[in-house]
Amino acid sequence: MRFINREKETAFLEEKWLEQKAQLIVLWGKRRVGKTELVKQFIKDKPHVYFLSENTNEKEQLHRFSQAIGRFYKEPLLKTRGFAGWEESFEYIKAKNRRFVLVMDEFPYLILSNPAIPALFQKAWDEYWSKGNIYLIILGSNMAMMENEVLGYRSPLYGRRTGQWRIDPMPFPSARKFRAGKSFTDQLSHFSVAGGIPAYWLQLSPEKDILKNIADHVLKKGEFLYDEVEFILREELREPRYYFALLQAVAQGKRKLSEIVNATGISQPVANKYLGVLADLNIVERELPVTEVKPMKSKKGLYRIIDEFFLFWFRFIFPKRGELEMGRLREVLAGINKELPMHLSIIYEKTAIEILRNHMDNFFPFTAIGRWWDRNEEIDIVAFNRDLDTILFGEVKWSEKPVGTDIYDALKQKAKKVQWGSRTRKQQFCLFSKKGFTASMIKLAKEEGVALFKEDKLISKSTITSGGSS
């Protein structure tokens, strides 16, 4: 298995290890995001006990934990007799007084086997471990349980952790390394399916093109990715059928709450509640224009699926499950091939923001970046710094022809409608294009300091200009 990126997360864990004192580290993140692999990479050269909780009863959990501790300390009796209770295991570890990493993976399953587990581990930390040198890592995929039962204010473990890190999906600049040496279009196409989830990239063959990978590893019944969305939703949620309806509506372009309600027939209060749950799972988000001053009171919110695989699955797979079950794979694949360029234009807009962040040194320090829209207009990228009274406007085009001056002229006109900053605010402009730019646009970019990106490469730098907002 290739281990890519996670430099910041690994550095964080290593720094805590070097402190030579007791640590209680909490790691959490959505399923398949790479938490376990990150921890395994960290502990591979350190003394450790790795314990994976399973969805079973407490007696079996304790027996398996006893075996893991017994193997580490080379105590045959522990492998057979085991500990009588959790507290006995905590006392045993304290008495040994050896520095090692204790990993409690999928901790929520342990809580499900006994709701008192957080209190038991709080006692272990307070009475046995906090004054020693143990390095305890608690991690889990159930976002709600980790945030409420481990990190939450009412959790017995609240205030005990010495560090925490939410493991998020990889951004495009990191995830694309799974297709190192391939074209930008190839990398973006695979990102539109696998997103920032390492486990999904590993399901796609590096030797196959995007359509072959989709056909062999996404559309084919029995493959890991074929049932992945259903597995996750049924694992995480009690009433998945409502969530399926909501996600399909959003994937089909129903982004306002009123549109989602009309498309699904689910009442507004219930839809609002369930969309909030999906947001907690990092599957959807309520997006607002980046310049909104009071986001909590804004009525401009639009929902979008931020998990690329979920977006791909609900746009292309879920509506065609009947056809796929009947073996009509070629017909479904032909439909995906036809619609894929339009889908990639959406993904390119999102990745352009990540690319721009990586080139921030060529502009100014962004304090916020995102999209902007009103009733009649929208701008793909707006970034700004209030202290500097500086704002950047960007347009992103995934088309088969070079971008001309007409796109730039339209962007400048839309920028005038953005109410932000002072009347003498400083402005910058950038354009992203799959196929590059016309000769006249390249010439104009040099004259007016417009930043031009061909795919992900900056080919023309920008300068800051002053310009009033209407």
The per-residue pLDDT for 3 is 62
The CATH code of domain 7-166 reads 3.40.50.300
Tokens linked to 306? 């931020």
235 pLDDT band, cuts 50/70/90, is confident
467 pLDDT band, cuts 50/70/90, is low
Residue 142, SS3? coil
Q: With 80 as the cut, is the pLDDT of residue 310 above it?
A: yes
The per-residue pLDDT for 266 is 94
In angstroms, rounded to a whole number, what is the distance separating the alpha carbons of residues 466 and 439? 25
Query: What does the pLDDT look like over 382-399, one tens digit per residue?
Result: 999 999 999 999 999 999
1 pLDDT band, cuts 50/70/90, is very low
Q: With 50 as the cut, is the pLDDT of residue 469 above it?
A: no
In angstroms, rounded to a whole number, what is the distance separating the alpha carbons of residues 209 and 337? 12
What end-to-end distance do the CA atoms of the chain give, in Å? Answer: 54
Handedness of CA 260, 302, 339, 281 (dihedral sign): negative
At residue 349, what is the residue type?
Answer: E
- Tell me the CA distances in angstroms from 156 to 23, 120, 149, 464, one per residue in order: 17, 9, 8, 52
Specify the length of the chain in residues: 470
Torsion of CA 61, 197, 170, 22, to 10 degrees: 10
Query: What does the pLDDT look like over 323-334, one tens digit per residue?
Result: 999 989 999 999
Write the burial class of residue 292 (CB in 10 Å: 0-12 exposed, 13-18 middle, 19+ buried).
middle
Phi-psi region of 186 (alpha: psi -120 to 50; beta: other; left: phi over 0): alpha
* Domain spanning 359-466: CATH 2.60.120: no
173-347 architecture in CATH?
Orthogonal Bundle (1.10)
Spans of all domains in the chain: 7-166, 173-347, 359-466
Average pLDDT, the chain: 93
Domain 173-347 and domain 359-466 have a common topology:
no
Q: With 70 as the cut, is the pLDDT of residue 21 above it?
A: yes
244-251 mean pLDDT: 94
